[in-house]
Amino acid sequence: MQEIVSGALTFCLAMLGGAAAAGASDAAWANWRGPLHTGVASAADPPVRWSEQENIRFKVRVPGSGLSSPIVWGDAIYLLSAAPADEAAYAASLSEAEAKQQKQEFPPAVRPVQQRFLVLAYSRKDGSLLWQRVAAERTPHESHHLDASWASASPVTDGRILVAHFGSNGTFAYDLAGKLLWQTDLGDMQTRNGFGEGSSPAIHGDRVIVNWDHEGESFIVALDAKSGEVVWKTARPGEATSWATPLVVEREGRTQVVVPATGRSRGYDLATGKELWSLAGMTVNTIPTPVLRGSVVYLTSGYRGNMLQAIDLSRAEGPLEDSPAVVWKHESDTPYVPSPLLYDDSIYFLKHFKNILSHLDAASGKPVYEPVRIEALHNVYASPVGAAGRIYLFDRDGHAAVIRHGKQFEVLAENNLDEGVDASPALVGDTIYLRGQQHLYAIAALPPPAKTAAASTSGPSRPGD
């Protein structure tokens, strides 16, 4: 997410065998998993250490609430939020859900109250608000889990349009100056136990892809990026609620959409919506988004079970049970909430949403080192990200750990902020763009304070990381 970029910026992912997303660049973080759709920004070099008093370029209050991760394009940071029209009514609904949680009543659901669904653009320079749009104002038709929100999907851009997806509350496309281009209503989801919605859309070329897995009639749909009109819509029979974001993959002249799910993970032809392959084996409540290395896509889930499947898309046709297209499987310590990180020839992931990190060789599935507990962290919803040979992990209490990317586990730094983090960070240039529970942070290495005349003359101080 970096210097001003205008128009449609194309990016060749030859090093990955052609992963998704025209419009991706290391000068941007155009979707919530970054320029390579893996969680890695290969040209970024953010700081290793920070606190509320150190290396904070800016910290600005975000109206409302949401789990939507920030994305970056040009000089702007884009974010979605839901702000209650009646703060007192919303606070009462939160208190009710918190009381249920304390009594161990399930689910601890937040009662719907009227919301203003916001699309926000902030300056990368100083965090000032560039523009704000109210996409819709309505009362959601169902509740969400106390840990979720009515703005959980992340925006996505290709440098031409910005897609803001609020699920049952509408899908909207804007230009990057905030002009509404189109909007569409795909219906109302009925999520499992009223947990809420969260799958983000994907953009590839002239298509916007939305997955719609819920307790009703599930489907996947391709919308025309210029008009919002439905290009194709394919039923997904038997699928229950899931929250994974589709991954668009270019391989051997064919572009397909990969969607993990509780029933069967599937690949679809982007042009027609035709199902190309399918495979069972994910656990219930599939949340993590796939990653790609070469021709191999990695799917994972970790609620009431554990599964990581490595699928060679060059051999994937039809049902894949007993197929050589399934290169390897791993069935322990896989993630429930955070998505995996694919960094070079390594895949990293957290157990469930705990602080236990696994590191596998992506080619073989063999452990590089044994699962390790990161003592600085507690529960983790944010997905890990990587840059400059480092891995960044943030937890729900404001703690963060920076570890070395490599064959030996090493903690480089432990950091703390005043508020927890559920949304995944964006890494661009020298900066971490981070949505906390109330604020948007820009974390960047700042020069040390200038010395006064009375300061020590024992020699220059060395800037921190």
pLDDT at 84 over 60: yes
Give the separation between CA 315 and CA 326, rounded to whole angstroms.
Answer: 9
3-state secondary structure of 169: helix
First to last CA, the chain: 21
pLDDT at 173 over 90: yes
Q: Does a structural domain hold residue 122? A: yes
Q: Which helix (H) or strand (E) holds 195?
A: none
Q: Does a structural domain hold residue 5? A: no
Q: Does a structural domain hold residue 267? A: yes
pLDDT at 5 over 60: no
pLDDT in tens, 243-301: 999 999 998 778 999 999 999 999 999 999 999 999 999 999 999 999 999 999 999 99
Q: Does a structural domain hold residue 456? A: no
Give the separation between CA 364 and CA 442, rounded to whole angstroms.
Answer: 37
pLDDT class of 450 with cuts at 50, 70, 90 = low
Give the separation between CA 7 and CA 28, rounded to whole angstroms.
Answer: 13
pLDDT class of 91 with cuts at 50, 70, 90 = very high
Total of domains in the chain: 1
Which domain CATH number covers 81?
A: 2.130.10.10
Q: Does a structural domain hold residue 452? A: no
Q: Does a structural domain hold residue 51? A: yes
pLDDT at 455: 43
φ/ψ bin of 281: left (φ > 0), alpha (ψ from -120 to 50), beta (otherwise): left
- 131-145, 170-184, 442-456: the lowest-pLDDT one: 442-456
pLDDT at 116 over 70: yes
What pTM was computed for the model? 0.91
Q: Does a structural domain hold residue 157? A: yes
Give the separation between CA 346 and CA 364, rounded to whole angstroms.
Answer: 10
Supply φ then ψ for residue 99, to 5 degrees: -65, -40
User: Counting runs of H as helices and runs of E as strands, what totals does the chain give?
Assistant: 1, 35
pLDDT in tens, 235-249: 999 999 999 999 999
User: Is the CB of residue 56 less than 8 Å from the CB of residue 49?
Assistant: no
User: Is the CB of residue 117 less than 8 Å from the CB of residue 156?
Assistant: no
Distance of CA 167 to the CA centre of its chain: 15
**Paired sense of beta strands 247-251 and 254-259, if any:** antiparallel
* Of the candidates 280, 269, 193, the residue with the CA atom closest to the CA atom of residue 231: 269
Supply φ then ψ for residue 396, to 5 degrees: -75, -5
Task: Work out the mean pLDDT of the chain and round it to a whole number.
Answer: 92
pLDDT at 451: 60
pLDDT at 9: 31
- Look-up: residue for tokens 């949505």? 435
pLDDT at 458 over 90: no
pLDDT at 214: 97
pLDDT at 454: 45
pLDDT at 447: 81
- 3-17, 24-38, 83-97: the lowest-pLDDT one: 3-17
Q: Which domain holds residue 318?
A: 14-444
Supply φ then ψ for residue 92, to 5 degrees: -65, -40
pLDDT class of 184 with cuts at 50, 70, 90 = very high
Non-local CB neighbours of 453 within 8 Å, separated by 6+ positions? none
Q: Does a structural domain hold residue 450? A: no
3-state secondary structure of 81: strand
